[in-house]
């Protein structure tokens, strides 16, 4: 063989090796799914096996969860979708499908005689913002999917007609909202049995919801936001005291935003949710502070001390954020190295910092029953999505003839931005009710990526979402098995109230005594919370793993 031929062969071999490396970098070759319900996981498997990608699978999962988890999400709600488009250099995008306040909404709409009337923003159609999920499903299919929308909606339509069996989670959520469900005849008809919580195994059929999904399958977004369906929705809402209009529905649009991105150690990058989510900022701040603290080498109580203190400081800043289409969010200030270094350095190594010793921040509240899923396909496209109707079964109001239970996301706004707020005006105004505005949220679908690893995180849980995601991320950073990330015992601090909430059994008796000796006030919430779904792609090893929270009834799966 001549020298030139040998050189050519060597060059060809190098090119093939580079191509193999590039192919490996772009995708794992297998798909993985983690969802909170077996039916949703099965729907995604079918779509992937039909040639769909991760974005088509996300449509199928979302629509199926609208059927089997009416307490957590649905066509009457919204959510956040964090997307990864595969490539040697991946592209990340964030689809904001958060609900928007109706055009007639005003800052004092939940006040009477100068006082907040909480029930008005919780139950009934006045509590409902304009839904975003139907638009998001149409957007995902048209901009990122490989299959037509009707194919990805087909599993949910079939399931809505055939019915699904009531499980323990459904019974728990329906019990929590039993009184409100009973107060609405249509919700009681759809979701109760003889005005009581259905027994385990009871089959819930929703032909009206199937018809609504079918209208979307045939007409796309217009099957929900315009025409006969829109007229039915508006008529039902207004007859029951709501303020929706046809223009509100026709004018709804999702927002494509740049994800929040923050560099971490070891070539890792946090890719998470920007405002109107406050969760991504809290995660970035918490991880940045922990990088300055020896949390990995600390014994359990000391580690908990560090985590609680960074959460206290990150949550304090939440009240400064709001819908970026309406307010200027001080993201650069909140994520500035000098600022975060100062926060980390303010942590006493052994004693709790009373929240009263930190600068004040406005109080806030948020419903804690949402849903989350994650999916990655063989090419490396991935979705991490958190969806919500706010409280269990949302506003507990279902529009007759549609099968759609409405959200009560208006309750996530600051209902009284100027009157009874004892901590000042600025932060409350950032999240005050305004026409067309999206309420602030803690929903935090999250990726962490490096040249050798990719992981996704997310969970329902309202204000506790960032703390739950943080604890799982720490498990990932420590190299724990994937199944342990969503299973880790949970604790939480959110600046105010100045208390450490935790699940039963999170701390031993000795650990509780030590933490209390450091100045912490502990509160056992009496139940497990959250329902995290995670994925992991080992790029070097070419393997994917998925795990579903053992607290729920979800299922993880690997798909060839």
Active site residues: 370
Sheet holding 522-524, edge to edge: 491-492, 500-502, 522-524
Handedness of CA 284, 286, 292, 297 (dihedral sign): negative
Q: Is the peptide bond before 497 cis (omega within 30 degrees of 0)?
A: yes
Name the 3-class secondary structure at 126: helix
> Are the CB atoms for 159 and 67 separated by under 8 Å?
yes
Name the 3-class secondary structure at 512: helix
Alpha-carbon gap, residue 206 to 170, rounded angstroms:
15
Alpha-carbon gap, residue 113 to 122, rounded angstroms:
19
Alpha-carbon gap, residue 547 to 524, rounded angstroms:
26
> Which of 79, 69, 35 is CA-nearest to residue 409?
79
| DSSP result, 319-356 | GG---TTTS---HHHHT-HHHHHHHHHTS-SSS---GG
> Are the CB atoms for 239 and 59 separated by under 8 Å?
no
> Which of 135, 137, 143, 136 is CA-nearest to residue 157?
137
> Are the CB atoms for 319 and 364 separated by under 8 Å?
yes
**What are the residues facing 522 on neighbouring strands?**
500
Alpha-carbon gap, residue 264 to 285, rounded angstroms:
11
Q: What is the four-CA torsion angle of 456, 461, 467, 473, rounded to 10 degrees?
A: -20
Please report how many Cα atoms fall inside a 13 Å half-sphere around the Cα of residue 508, on the Cβ side: 5
> Which of 426, 428, 448 is CA-nearest to residue 439?
428
Residues 6+ apart with CB under 8 A from 231: 246
Please report how many Cα atoms fall inside a 13 Å half-sphere around the Cα of residue 381, on the Cβ side: 16
Measured N-to-C along each axis, helices 38-49 and 149-162 cross at an angle, to the nearest 10 degrees, of 140
> Are the CB atoms for 161 and 434 separated by under 8 Å?
no
Tokens representing 550 are 């053992």
Element (H, E) at 81: strand 78-85
């Amino acid at each position: 063989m001549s020298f030139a031929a040998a050189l050519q062969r060597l060059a060809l071999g190098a090119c093939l090796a580079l191509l193999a490396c590039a192919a490996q970098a772009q995708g794992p070759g297998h798909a993985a799914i983690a969802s909170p319900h077996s039916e949703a996981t099965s729907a995604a498997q079918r779509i992937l096996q039909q040639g769909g990608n991760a974005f088509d699978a996300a449509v199928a999962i979302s629509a199926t969860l609208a059927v089997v988890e009416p307490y957590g999400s649905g066509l009457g709600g919204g959510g956040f979708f964090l997307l990864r488009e595969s490539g040697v250099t991946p592209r990340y995008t964030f689809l904001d499908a958060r609900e928007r306040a109706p055009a007639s909404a005003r800052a004092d709409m939940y006040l009477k005689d100068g006082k907040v009337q909480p029930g008005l923003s919780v139950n009934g159609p006045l509590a409902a913002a304009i839904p975003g999920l139907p638009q998001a499903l149409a957007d995902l299919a048209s901009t990122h999917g490989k299959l037509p929308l009707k194919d990805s909606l087909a599993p949910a339509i079939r399931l809505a007609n055939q019915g699904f069996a009531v499980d323990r989670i459904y019974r728990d959520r329906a019990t929590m909202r039993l009184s409100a469900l009973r107060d609405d005849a249509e919700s009681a008809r759809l979701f109760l049995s003889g005005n009581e919580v259905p027994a385990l195994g009871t089959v819930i059929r929703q032909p009206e919801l199937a018809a609504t999904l079918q209208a979307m399958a045939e007409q796309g977004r217009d099957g929900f936001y315009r025409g006969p369906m829109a007229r039915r929705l508006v008529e039902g809402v207004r007859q029951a005291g709501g303020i929706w209009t046809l223009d509100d529905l026709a004018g709804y649009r999702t927002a494509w935003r740049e994800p929040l991105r923050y560099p971490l150690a070891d070539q890792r990058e946090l890719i998470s949710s920007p405002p109107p989510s406050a969760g991504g900022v809290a995660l970035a701040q918490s991880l940045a502070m922990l990088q300055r603290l020896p949390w990995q080498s600390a014994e359990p109580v000391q580690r908990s001390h560090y985590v609680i203190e960074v959460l206290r400081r990150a949550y304090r800043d939440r009240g400064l954020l709001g819908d970026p289409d309406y307010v200027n969010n001080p993201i650069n200030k909140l994520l500035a190295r000098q600022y975060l270094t100062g926060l980390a350095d303010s942590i006493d190594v052994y004693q709790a910092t009373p929240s009263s010793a930190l600068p004040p921040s406005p109080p806030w509240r948020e419903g804690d029953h949402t849903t989350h899923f994650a999916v990655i396909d063989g090419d490396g496209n991935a979705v991490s999505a958190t969806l919500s109707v706010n409280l269990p079964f949302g506003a507990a109001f279902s529009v007759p003839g549609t099968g759609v239970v409405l959200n009560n996301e208006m309750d996530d706004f600051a209902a009284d931005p100027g009157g009874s707020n004892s901590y000042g005006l600025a932060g409350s105004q950032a999240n005050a009710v305004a026409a067309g505005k999206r309420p602030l949220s803690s929903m935090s679908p999250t990726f962490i990526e490096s040249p050798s690893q990719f992981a996704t995180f997310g969970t329902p849980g309202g204000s506790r979402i960032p703390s739950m995601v943080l604890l799982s991320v720490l498990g990932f950073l420590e190299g724990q098995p994937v199944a342990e990330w969503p299973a880790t015992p949970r604790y939480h601090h959110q600046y105010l109230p100045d208390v450490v909430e935790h699940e039963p059994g999170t701390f031993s008796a000795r650990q509780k005594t030590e933490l209390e000796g450091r100045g912490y006030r502990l509160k056992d919430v009496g139940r497990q919370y959250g329902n995290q779904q995670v994925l992991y792609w080992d790029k070097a090893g070419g393997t994917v793993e998925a795990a579903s929270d053992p607290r729920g009834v979800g299922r993880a799966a690997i798909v060839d």
